[in-house]
Amino acid sequence: MQKVILNDLGEISYHKAWDLQQKLMAEVIGIKRANRDATTPTPQKHYFLYCEHPHVYTLGRSGSMDNLLLSEEQLNEKNIEFYKINRGGDITYHGPGQIVGYPILDLDCFFTDIHRFVRYIEEAVIRTLAEYDIQGERIKGLSGVWLKADDKRPDRKICAIGIHLSRWVTMHGFAFNIQTDLQYFKYIVPCGITNKAVTSLEMELGKAVNLSEVKEKLNRHFSELFEFEFTS
């Protein structure tokens, strides 16, 4: 069973977290390269980072600037950062009260299937939602976890996913809305999708939710799905 180093960074700027991800990814790839010619291979390292970011919008490789509805001046006025980054997907928001997870895993130690990797992230969130009696769904052709439309509300996203791979090592990950201020999604076209909405766990439950409690549930489901063990 693979061991994954779990590190909860707390609140951290997006740029610092991005730099750390790239540093850890380089370390994992370095071990992988060294092991190719090693008589006695070094055990591979894997990391799983949790954090919250101050208000920030990130635009993925396939995203359009048209989906950012604020000017640079307005971003500055609202104290929102903006970054173009190397993950897949379009534009999304990160902010306080959101669980952001960055798995930095060498998939050669698990399975070399990017679609399976994304489905497992979705499944961990879906299983966590089920513990709150909420039915998370997948929508064909769209990544992330959704709640299906009802008589009063459209389909709405509760967890966004965007990843990047190099030599089968992953970075970036998921953003799970728990206590998130959904107002900030009104300043973008989330993920470039115009006919759906965004929600949070507290919005759906109508009560406060403890982030640490949610992380504990996520940890259990990630461990079960990927068959790894978290370590510090």
Task: Summarize pLDDT for 13-42 with one digit per residue, the tens.
Answer: 999 999 999 999 999 999 999 999 899 999
Report helix angle 211-226 to 114-130, nearest 10: 140
CA of residue 151 relative to chain centroid, distance? 29
Q: What is the pLDDT of residue 63?
A: 87
Segment 183-209 mean pLDDT: 91
User: What is the structure's pLDDT at 61?
Assistant: 87
- How does the average pLDDT of the chain come out, rounded? 95
State how far the Cα of 139 lies from the Cα of 157, in Å rounded to an integer: 10
On whether the CB atoms of residues 111 and 186 are closer than 8 A, the answer is no
Show which residues are catalytic: 191
Q: Which two tokens stand for residue 4?
A: 């994954």
194 burial (CB, 10 Å; 0-12 / 13-18 / 19+) is exposed
- The pTM assigned to this predicted structure is 0.95
Q: What is the pLDDT of residue 226?
A: 98
